[in-house]
Amino acid sequence: MKLQEDLKHTDRLLQLTKEFSSKFLSSLDRLAADKMVDIPVRQVMPAEGVGGVAALELFRQQYGNAVTAAVGPRYWGFVTGGVTPAALMGDWLAATMDLNSSDKGSAAFAIETETIALLKQLFGLPEAFLGCFVTGATMANFTGLALGRQWLGQQRGIDIGKEGMAGLHDLQVVSCVPHSSVTKSMAMLGLGRDNVVKIPALPGRESVDISALRAYLESRNGQPVIYVASAGTVNTVDFDDIAAIVELKKQYPFWLHIDAAFGGFAACSEHYRHLLNGWEEADSITIDAHKWLNVPYDAAMIFSRHPGLQVDVFQNAGAAYLGDPAENFNFINHIPENSRRLRALPAWFSLMAYGKDGYRHIVEENVALAQQLGGLLNEHPAFRLLAPVRMCVVCFTLNVQAAEQEEAVDRFLLALNATGVVCMTRTVYAGQPGIRAALVNWRTTANDVQLAFQTMKEVVATVLNLYTYA
């Protein structure tokens, strides 16, 4: 039986996997940051199996040419960090040990508890917050909104976690520039993605107009809502004025959830920490780990001041084998997932290996490189910044006539990503078609910025022959 044969040769399989991984990592600079993938041949499910060695070779043949350097220094598409060496060590061990991080019968529970404590120190969050690992920012936002929904029900004398939402109406989620994962979570929670109330932003910003928010809250006549604050918008890394929102919280009833998926890492630098002033007064906070923490997918944290509400929503009621949620703390009674990979371990390794200074350097270096790219674009007549470079995202467009802009942007981005040198993504900002480059990878250097910009100049010289400068 192939499985028993592989058991006898596990060391060899691990060595082959290590060699494949090492070769991949050493070739990051030569691999395309992005490419169009076409896998014409589909494998047939084998009756007996081929064993681990042959499976690795099949993988190499089937997918080897389609693997991209998404972990590399010039992948600036999704806000995705690379994987630090120490995080890779932790992830390998997490897979090897295959521990359920909610199991108190192993070190897993203690590892997650300690990692959350380390993260609160890194971000300067009070001990009052309970932190839990989830799969990503979407599930963290889902959890924060689920708690807000439970709180809204309490304000009306209803335990939504127990009784459901029948008879409830006008449960509103309010925001200025919410991430798509917020409205997706609203759909999953039965709040309805169309029921988000968008408050105007300040002129030329993605930061909420506090006076408009105050007027909206006043119009509610004391009816509570959920407010989702942005701590780093996806287009321009703009921040709501959290301190001002906290002051409003003293006057009006609302649940304050802060989506700080990557903007929360501003706390690592004394230059940017002020952007989060007041966030310690939030009810719940989302921070993503597979973004600026530079650990592997999938990992994020939800921090909450209300563990009791979490139990109301997420408890495993009636599961005797899991124990009484009221008597024995367990992460599974505070978040959506029961079966939970030890995703805290890569974070623990990376935090211990590189410390506060290491993460301060990553954040400040990425911001400096984004500003360098922004400066280069600003000086070139073919490009135009759509917003100031506030932190790690550069949002820009092509300097062509408005009627031609959308087509020109599409052509340019398609051609740029096809080079494989760098990957960026399409966006729309202030109604204008644009492009965004997100720099959150620990590997990125000034040389990468120069190489990417040189490629951009070569591509745009070809594309703009078809269009008219604005």
Q: How far is CA 156 from the centre of its chain?
A: 33
Residue 239 DSSP symbol: B
- The order of strands in the sheet holding 225-230 is 130-134, 300-304, 284-288, 254-259, 225-230, 173-175, 196-198
Q: Comparing C-alpha atoms, which of 245, 243, 295 is closest to residue 265?
A: 295
The secondary structure of 172-220 as a DSSP string is -EEESS--HHHHHHHHHTTS-GGGEEEPPBPTTSSSB-HHHHHHHHHHT
Across the strands, what pairs with 353?
none
- Distance between first and last Cα of the chain: 68
Scored b (16 or more CB within 10 A) or e, 11-35 reads eebeeeeeeeeeeeeeebeebbbbb
The per-residue pLDDT for 196 is 95
Reduced to 3 states (helix: H, G, I; strand: E, B; else coil), residue 404 is helix
The per-residue pLDDT for 434 is 98
Q: pLDDT of 314-340, one tens digit each?
A: 998 877 667 777 778 999 999 999 989
Q: What kind and span of H or E run contains 134?
A: strand 130-134
The amino acid occupying position 370 is A
d(CA 230, CA 246): 13
Reduced to 3 states (helix: H, G, I; strand: E, B; else coil), residue 227 is strand
Q: How far is CA 256 from the centre of its chain?
A: 19
Across the strands, what pairs with 384?
397
Q: How far is CA 49 from the centre of its chain?
A: 37
Return the ∠ at Cα 195 (arms to 194 and 198), rounded to 5°: 95
Low-confidence ranges of the chain (pLDDT < 50): none
- What is the DSSP pairing of strand 225-230 with strand 254-259? parallel
d(CA 318, CA 145): 24
Contact 332, 338 (CB under 8 A): yes
The half-sphere exposure of 90 on its side-chain side, counting CA atoms within 13 A, is 27
Residue 343 DSSP symbol: T
Q: pLDDT of 86-100, one tens digit each?
A: 999 999 999 999 999
The per-residue pLDDT for 318 is 73
Q: Comparing C-alpha atoms, which of 316, 313, 352, 323 is closest to residue 115?
A: 352
Predicted TM-score (pTM) of this structure: 0.95
Across the strands, what pairs with 230?
259
d(CA 276, CA 292): 16
The per-residue pLDDT for 167 is 64
The per-residue pLDDT for 317 is 80
How many C-beta atoms lie closer than 10 Å to residue 320's C-beta?
7
Q: Comparing C-alpha atoms, which of 233, 242, 300, 228 is closest to residue 273?
A: 242
Structure tokens at 241: 């004025």
The per-residue pLDDT for 426 is 97
Return the ∠ at Cα 402 (arms to 396 and 405), rounded to 5°: 55
Three-state SS string over 40-98 comes to: CCCCCCCCCCCCHHHHHHHHHHHHHHHCCCCCCCCECCCCCCCCCHHHHHHHHHHHHHC
Across the strands, what pairs with 393?
438
